Amino acid sequence: MNINMDLKIAVLAGDGIGPEIMEQALAVTRAVCAKKGHKLLLKEGIVGACAIDATGDPYPEETHRLCMESDAVLFGAIGDPKYDNDPNAKVRPEQGLLRMRKQLGLYGNIRPVMTFPSLIHKSPLRADLVEGADFMCIRELTGGLYFGRPQGRSEDGNTAFDTCLYTREEVERILHLAYKFAGQRRKKLTVVDKANVIATSRLWRQIAQEIAPQYPDIETDYLFVDNAAMRIIQWPKSFDVLVTENLFGDILTDEASVITGSLGLLPSASIGVHTSLFEPIHGSYPQATGKNIANPLAMILSAALMFEYGFGLMEEGAMIREAVNASLEKGIVTEDIADGGKAYSTREVGNWIREFIER
C-alpha cells in the first residue's frame, strides 16, 4: 500500500463550467488524500478563453512551466461563445488546448466507455445492446490532420487544404500503449483505420501487423473506420480496446460517449511524454456557467483516473468510483440525469460524494 506520497498537481479549471466542476473534483481529491495519508500540492494556472482575456495567449508560458513542473494536470474545459461565433478570430481557446497537447507530448488520449446500471434507461440504444458494455478508446493526439503542415486557404478564399501526416515513431508509440492497456483488460485490440483509401492508414495497418506478433496473448483485429462507427452502435459489447488516429478518434469517441446516456459521466486521460493530463470529455457548457447545475461526475471520475494512471494508486481511484456509483444508485444527481426525480446542484452532488468518502 502506498502512503505519504507527495502529489504535485497542476489545476487548470479553464472556462465555462470548468471552475465549478473542478471545485468538486478537488474536494473529493482532498478527501481521498486525507484518508490515505498523501500530501496534496496544488497550483492553479490559466488556459483557454480566460487566458486570452488575461494575457492574449490561450496557453501562456507560465501555465506550460507549471504543467512541466507537476506530476499530473487536472483540467476542466475550454471554450467561449464569443470566440465560437467569430469566424475571423485570430486567437482561439482551442489553440491553447492543441498547443498544450503538443508541448506536453500528450500523444495518447484514453477514454473509458462504460454503462452504469442505474442509468441504462438513459442510453439512446436498447438496454440489451448496452448493458455491460465496457471498452476503452485510445486516440493518437499529436499527429494527423490537426497538426499536419502545410495547411491553409487559397488567396481567393475558395479552396482550403489540410495535410495528414504520420511517422513510424508516432504510430508505434500509440500502438504499444494500446497493447499495454489491452493486456490489462480482456486481451483484445481493434485497430481502426481507412487503409483501403488513405496512405497514412496503410502505414498504420502495416506497422500494426508488424507489432502484433510481439503480443501473442492479445487478439488483434482490424476495422475500417466506417465499419467501426456502425459496430459501436450495433454491437458495443464486441469491443475491448480500440485504437485509432487523431481525426477518427475524435469522431468515434464522441459517438461512443452517448452510449452511457450522458456526456457528464465520462472522464479521459491524456498520457504524455512529460506530464499526463486528466479531463472530462464534455465541453465548457457556457449556458450553465455560474448556475450550479453542471454535472461534476466526469470531472470527479477524471480525478479517479489521475490517481490510477497518473500515480498508480488504484485503491484511491476505486474509492472515488465506489462513491460515484453510490451517488447514482441513490439518485444524488444533477438535472441532466435526474429523469423526473429531484435534481441536485453541482455542489450538492460533490458534497455528497466527498462525505461518502470521508465516512
Residue 116: predicted pLDDT: 84
Active site residues: 146, 194, 226, 250, 254
Expressed in percent and rounded to 5, the helix, strand and coil fractions of the chain are 50, 20, 30
pLDDT digits (tens, 9 = 90+) for 185-194: 999 999 999 9
Fold identical between 1-115+265-359 and 124-260?
Answer: yes
The secondary structure of residue 292, as a DSSP letter, is S
Q: Which of 226, 225, 215 is nearest to 189 (CA)?
A: 215
Cα(first)–Cα(last) distance of the chain, in Å?
20
SS3 35: helix
Under DSSP, the state recorded for 17 is T
Q: What pLDDT shows up at residue 3?
A: 64
| Residues sharing a CB contact under 8 Å with residue 74, sequence separation 6 or more, in sequence order | 9, 10, 11, 12, 22, 25, 26, 29, 277, 278, 279, 302, 303, 306
* For residue 150, cis peptide bond before it (omega within 30 degrees of 0): yes
Q: Does the domain spanning 124-260 belong to CATH 3.40.50.2300?
A: no
- Please check whether residue 189 is in contact with residue 228, taking contact to mean a CB–CB distance below 8 angstroms: no
Write the pLDDT tens digit of every residue in 307-334.
998 999 999 999 999 999 999 999 999 9
Contact 346, 295 (CB under 8 A): yes
**The three cell numbers locating residue 37:** 495519508
| pLDDT on residue 259 | 87
Q: If DSSP codes are grouped into helix, strand and coil, which group holds residue 197? A: coil
Domain residues of the chain, as ranges? Answer: 1-115+265-359, 124-260
CA 3 – CA 7 distance, rounded (Å): 11
CB of 313 within 8 A of CB of 147? no
**Which positions of the chain have pLDDT values less than 50?**
1
What is the predicted pLDDT for the residue at 53? 94
Neighbours of 202 (CB within 10 A): 14
pTM of the model: 0.86
Looking at residue 212, its pLDDT comes to 98
AA identity, residue 2:
N
The CATH class of 1-115+265-359 is alpha beta
Q: Are 45 and 67 in contact (CB under 8 A)?
A: yes
* Nine-digit cell string for 2: 502506498
